[in-house]
């Protein structure tokens, strides 16, 4: 009997671990759990890819509808779907994409449907639970090739603000065919085992997806193999900072800055150095024997880094490289936190020389965004009036009417009087609700707008609330004039909590998973929150854009190692709290300055007059952070010394107080998040040390751009129009909100 139970248990476990396979009407669906997300991993609040395999066992070709059923932040049912044509007796891979809500439940199965062409018949249906869903505060780094290359040392979270996980096992041949399928990861690192860029299996859609992901702020790191690199001859050669003629292979001992070699044997390795010239826009990150060996180049709002050392070579692993307190990756990502091995971390925690990461107080920096886009002002007066009306009703129906009836000796009419009072106040309530309800559609937004001096194309990421004063479905469309653009919208949510919250009448709407730039969204005479990502032009008249925006213009140069030149802009208002970040290049410390007054439209800004720059961030001289002098850690250290954001701790809902001055501090911390000084991990006292996390606002970080020789200007527009062409119900809706403008100028 016991043996039979054991056999049954084993069979059940094997069944649970097997991929989902379903077949109906000659269509076979296969969905391994490692295809739910990127290599089986996803992050709440981010777009998530699913790769399904379909086999058509019919002798006739057919078109099917692939659909992922999931809920949005308001509990409405989203049908994220794509049409796929299946050849006769053939197998096809297809990608589905859906926006995971910030507050989704981890244990809820994902439902995938395959329907016939007109969606009237369900052919296949499967439910599968994802392998690994990360919280929205988790940093994910994708690795195409399966090698950690020294990054495993950073996953301890002992000295950093946010935890890091590595998404390994990726390959260029199996990357998603849309850029938002890569949105769960901040960085993608390719090594020689990560698929070849010239492989025919790397489709043109995948190539374009990778380009768009970088252009919208992603960081692609290419670790060149010692022999036989194929990038320069592939369809993605335009991503590289240099061409094949600018690459030179050398042999020698590994650079000393990789760390101490643990092997006593002298090892010679093959490396690639690069030839760069002034004006080619290449950022030099590291040199070896005077030659650039790690370089980078800005690509839109993102960056491509090229490493001429094959860190995936097993010989580097045998030598224990890279290593040290500040390994190579600190320089590539401009991370400030020191790295310790796990044995030392455990020993210092036991000796009370380091606090446990779980004992620190997290401040969710992005929690100010919901309060910026919420439309609570539209209901504040009505809510106050309702409270006062209820109080007056209670007094009238209770003690006031009783006193009046008693004085007139008409207590026998109390029920009639009560009914009359109820009817009177009901009429007043309905009339008041009708009179005070907002009658016009409106949009409230918080937007990040990234622009480059050498390109008319901008990248904008926006969180917004749309109010429609009726119970109806409305078509929300991004950039209506360019339907082929890969812009996206979704409702993943701005506030974490239970996924049981939402409207009491959940409704269903469709989202084209292959082009989610438009959706027919249900509105209920209340605000609907959306998140939008846009890449395109806003400097000319187009449908859905209230007015073209004229961004900063001018020609700059370097004199005496400082930026000079004159700039002006034609934005629809003054740029406030303007910060200028001068990046000297070659990974040197950036410097930051602040304008005393707002930068008005058409006002000439003379950079030669700005001399009060200070270091953006500095490490302590000994690098151990044993004692903390925040003032000596540069502008960001001084900012963190004031512990901004304490009102965000344990904040819920949208009514988080965030003044303009506080909001500016949160924006600065998010803009330079990757290069923030580490938390005070040496402080083991109570109250616990503060760490900064970002469930929202991850798109603000521009740290990858700080390594090159450029000027970055950051400011914001208050009460500004939405700088993204968008229509609701084919109409342009009045909008207002904050727009954070970041303008980048590369010195030639």
Using one digit for the tens of pLDDT, what is the confidence trace for 153-187? 999 999 999 999 999 999 999 999 999 999 999 99
- Mean pLDDT of all residues in 382-392: 64
Q: How far apart are CA 532 and CA 254, in angstroms?
A: 45
Nearest to 51 by CA among 108, 96, 107: 96
Answer yes or no: is pLDDT of 543 > 80: yes
Categorize the per-residue pLDDT at 505 as very low, low, confident or very high, splitting at 50, 70 and 90.
Answer: confident
Cis before 687 (ω within 30): yes
461: exposed, middle or buried (C-beta count within 10 Å: 0-12, 13-18, 19+)? buried
* DSSP one-letter code for 302: E
CA distances to 75, 511, 524, 527, 532 from 477, in Å: 21, 11, 18, 17, 10
Mean pLDDT of 462-472: 94
State the pLDDT confidence band at 582, using cuts at 50, 70 and 90: very high
Look at residue 309 and tell me whether its pLDDT is greater than 60: yes
What is each CA distance from 88 to 51, 92, 119, 238, in whole angstroms?
20, 11, 20, 37
Given a cut of 60, is residue 378 above it in pLDDT? no
Higher pLDDT, 742 or 131: 742
135-354 in CATH: which number? Answer: 3.40.50
What pLDDT is stored for residue 201 in this prediction? 95
- The token duo for 321 is 């490289």
Cα(506)–Cα(678) distance, integer angstroms: 43
Dihedral of the alpha carbons of 404, 409, 412, 416, in degrees to the nearest 10:
-40
Measure Cα distances from 362 to 140, 366, 627, 650 in Å: 18, 12, 21, 9
DSSP, collapsed to helix, strand or coil, labels residue 589 as coil
Region 1-12 average pLDDT: 45
Q: What is the percentage of the chain residues whose pLDDT exceeds 70?
A: 90
Q: Is the pLDDT of residue 497 over 50?
A: no
Tell me the C-alpha distance between 397 and 389, whole Å. 12
Tokens of 197: 């860029």
Which pairing describes strands 591-594 and 614-615: parallel, antiparallel, or unpaired? antiparallel
What is the C-alpha to C-alpha distance for residues 741 and 713, in angstroms, rounded to an integer?
A: 8
Close Cβ partners of 278 (under 8 Å, ≥ 6 residues apart): 748
Rounded to 10°, the helix 377-395/414-436 angle is 170
What's the confidence (pLDDT) of residue 710? 97
Lowest-confidence pick of 398-402, 562-566, 671-675? 398-402
The kind and range of the H/E element at 388 are: helix 377-395
Contact 112, 504 (CB under 8 A): no
The answer to whether the bond into 322 is cis (omega within 30° of 0) is yes
Confidence at 18, pLDDT banded by 50, 70, 90 = very low
Q: What are the phi and psi torsion angles at 179 (to 5°)?
A: -65, -35
Tokens 């438009």 appear where?
Answer: 518
Say yes or no to pLDDT of 61 above 90: yes
Q: Tell me the per-residue pLDDT of 103-144, one tens digit each, with 9 for 90 and over.
A: 877 778 999 999 999 999 999 999 999 989 999 999 999 999
Instruction: Name residue 272's beta-bridge partners.
Output: 249
The upper half-sphere exposure of residue 246, i.e. CA atoms within 13 Å in the direction of its Cβ, equals: 18
Mutual angle of helices 634-641 and 660-671, in 10-degree steps: 140
Average of per-residue pLDDT values in the chain: 90
Q: Whole-angstrom Cα distance, residue 344 to residue 222? A: 31
Q: Quick one: pLDDT at residue 434?
A: 59
User: Token digits for 69?
Assistant: 């059923």
| Tens digit of each residue's pLDDT (9 = 90 or more) over 589-611 | 999 999 999 999 999 999 999 99
- DSSP output for 197-242: TT-TTS-HHHHHHHHHHHHTT-EEEEE--SS---GGGSTTGGGSSS
Residue 179 CB partners (closer than 8 Å, separation 6+): 208, 209, 210, 211, 212, 213, 216, 486
Is the C-alpha dihedral spanning 442, 546, 515, 123 positive or negative?
Answer: positive
CA distance 652 to 411: 49
pLDDT confidence of residue 421: 72
Q: What is the DSSP letter of 428?
A: H
* Contact by Cβ (8 Å): 736, 546: no
Contact 39, 169 (CB under 8 A): yes
Q: CA 601 from chain center: how many Å?
A: 31
Bridge-based pairing of strands 62-71 and 110-116 is antiparallel
Phi/psi of residue 662, each to 5°? -65, -40
Pairing of strands 139-144, 164-170: parallel
**What is the mean pLDDT of the segment spanning 4-14?**
43
DSSP string, 66-102: EEEEEE-TTS-EEEEEEEEEE-TTEEEEEEEEEE--T
Enumerate the β-bridge partners of residue 50.
Answer: 36, 96
Q: Which residue has the higher pLDDT, 228 or 181?
A: 181
Residue 504 above 80 pLDDT? no
For residues 207 and 172, the answer to whether their CB atoms sit within 8 Å is: no
Residues 6+ apart with CB under 8 A from 452: 298, 300, 301, 743, 744, 745, 746
Which residue ranges does the chain devote to CATH 3.40.50? 135-354
Task: Pick the range with the lowest mean pLDDT from 199-203, 251-255, 317-321, 390-394.
Answer: 390-394
Name every residue whose Cβ is closer than 8 Å to that of residue 736 and which is 6 or more positions away in sequence.
442, 443, 444, 445, 719, 720, 721
- Token pair recorded at residue 128: 């599968």
pLDDT by residue (tens digit) across 681-728?
Answer: 999 988 889 999 999 999 999 999 999 999 999 999 999 999 999 999
pLDDT of residue 379: 47
How far, in Å, are 77, 240, 543 from residue 511 at the CA level?
10, 34, 21
Check residue 597 and give its pLDDT.
95
Which pairing describes strands 27-31 and 20-24: parallel, antiparallel, or unpaired?
antiparallel
The predicted structure's pLDDT at residue 606:
97
Phi, psi dihedrals of residue 208, rounded to the nearest 5°: -65, -35
Residue 305 pLDDT: 98
Residue pair 364/695 in contact by the 8 Å Cβ criterion? yes
Contact of 148 with 166, CB cutoff 8 Å: yes
Per-residue pLDDT tens over the stretch 619-665: 998 888 988 999 999 999 999 999 999 888 877 666 676 788 999 99
| Predicted structure pTM score | 0.90
Taken in order 605, 610, 612, 613, the sign of the CA dihedral is: positive
Interatomic CA distance for residues 396 and 426, integer angstroms: 13
> In this predicted model, what pLDDT tens digit does every residue of 233-260 receive, in sequence order?
999 999 999 999 999 999 999 999 999 9
Six-digit token string for 516:
């989610």
């Amino acid at each position: 009997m016991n043996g039979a139970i054991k056999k049954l248990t084993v069979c059940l476990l094997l069944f649970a671990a097997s991929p989902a396979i379903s077949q109906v009407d000659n269509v076979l669906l296969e969905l391994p759990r490692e295809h739910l997300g990127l290599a089986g991993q996803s992050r709440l609040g981010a777009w998530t890819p699913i790769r399904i395999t379909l086999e058509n066992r019919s002798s006739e070709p057919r078109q099917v509808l692939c659909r992922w059923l999931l809920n949005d932040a308001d509990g409405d049912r989203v049908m994220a779907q794509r049409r796929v044509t299946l050849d006769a007796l053939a197998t096809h891979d297809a990608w589905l994409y859906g926006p995971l809500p910030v507050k989704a439940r981890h244990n809820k199965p994902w439902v995938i449907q395959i329907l016939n062409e007109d969606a009237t018949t369900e052919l296949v249906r499967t439910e599968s639970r994802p392998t690994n869903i990360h919280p929205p505060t988790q940093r994910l780094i994708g690795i195409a090739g399966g090698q950690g290359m020294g990054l495993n040392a950073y996953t301890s979270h002992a000295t950093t603000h946010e935890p890091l996980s590595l998404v390994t096992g990726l390959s260029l041949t199996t990357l998603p065919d849309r850029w938002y399928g890569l949105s769960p990861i901040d960085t993608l690192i390719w090594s020689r085992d990560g698929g070849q860029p010239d492989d025919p299996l790397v489709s043109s859609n995948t190539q374009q997806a990778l380009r768009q992901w970088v252009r919208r702020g992603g960081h692609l790191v290419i670790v060149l193999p010692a022999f036989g690199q194929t990038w320069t001859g592939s369809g993605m050669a335009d991503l590289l900072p240099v061409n094949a003629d600018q690459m030179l292979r050398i042999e020698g001992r590994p650079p000393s800055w990789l760390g101490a070699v643990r092997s006593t044997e002298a090892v010679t390795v093959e490396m690639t150095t690069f030839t760069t010239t002034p004006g080619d826009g290449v950022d030099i990150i590291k040199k070896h024997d005077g030659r650039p060996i790690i370089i980078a180049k800005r690509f839109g709002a993102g960056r491509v880094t090229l490493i001429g050392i094959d860190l995936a070579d097993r010989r580097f692993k045998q030598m224990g490289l890279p290593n040290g307190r500040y390994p190579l990756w600190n320089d590539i990502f401009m991370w400030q936190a020191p790295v310790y091995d796990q044995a030392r971390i455990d020993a210092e925690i036991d000796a009370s020389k380091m606090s446990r990461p779980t004992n620190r107080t997290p401040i969710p920096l992005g929690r100010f965004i919901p309060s910026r886009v919420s439309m609570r002002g539209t209901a504040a007066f009505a809510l106050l009036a309702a409270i006062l009306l209820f109080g007056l009703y209670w007094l009238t129906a209770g003690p006031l009417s009783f006193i009046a009836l008693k004085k007139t000796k008409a207590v026998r009419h109390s029920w009639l009087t009560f009914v009359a009072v109820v009817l009177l106040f009901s009429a007043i309530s309905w009339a008041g609700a009708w009179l005070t309800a907002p009658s016009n559609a409106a949009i409230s937004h918080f937007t990040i707008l990234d622009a480059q001096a050498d390109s008319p194309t901008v990248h904008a990421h926006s969180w917004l609330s749309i109010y429609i004063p009726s119970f109806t479905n409305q078509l929300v469309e991004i950039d209506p004039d360019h339907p082929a653009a890969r812009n996206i919208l979704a409702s993943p949510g701005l506030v974490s909590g239970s996924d049981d919250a939402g409207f009491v009448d959940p409704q269903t709407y469709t989202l084209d998973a292959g082009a989610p730039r438009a959706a027919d969204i249900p509105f209920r005479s209340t605000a609907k929150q959306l998140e939008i990502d846009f890449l395109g032009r806003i400097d000319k008249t187009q449908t859905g854009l209230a007015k073209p925006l004229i961004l900063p213009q001018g020609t700059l140069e370097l004199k005496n190692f400082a930026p000079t030149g004159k700039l002006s802009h034609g934005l629809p208002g003054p740029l406030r709290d303007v910060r200028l970040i001068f990046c000297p290049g070659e990974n040197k410390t950036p410097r930051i300055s602040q304008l005393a007054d707002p930068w008005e439209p058409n006002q000439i800004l003379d950079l030669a007059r700005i001399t009060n720059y200070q270091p953006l961030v500095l490490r302590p001289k000994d690098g151990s952070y044993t004692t903390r002098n925040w003032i000596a850690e540069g502008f960001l250290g001084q900012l963190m010394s004031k512990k901004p954001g304490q009102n965000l701790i344990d904040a819920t809902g949208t009514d988080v107080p965030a003044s303009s001055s506080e909001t500016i501090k949160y924006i600065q911390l998010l803009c330079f998040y990757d290069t923030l000084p580490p938390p005070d991990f040496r402080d083991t006292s109570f109250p616990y040390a503060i760490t900064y996390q970002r469930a929202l606002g991850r798109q603000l970080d521009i740290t990858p751009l700080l390594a090159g020789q450029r000027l970055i200007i950051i400011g914001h527009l208050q009460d500004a129009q939405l700088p993204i062409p968008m229509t609701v119900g084919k109409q342009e809706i009045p909008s207002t909100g904050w727009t954070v403008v970041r303008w980048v100028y590369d010195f030639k």
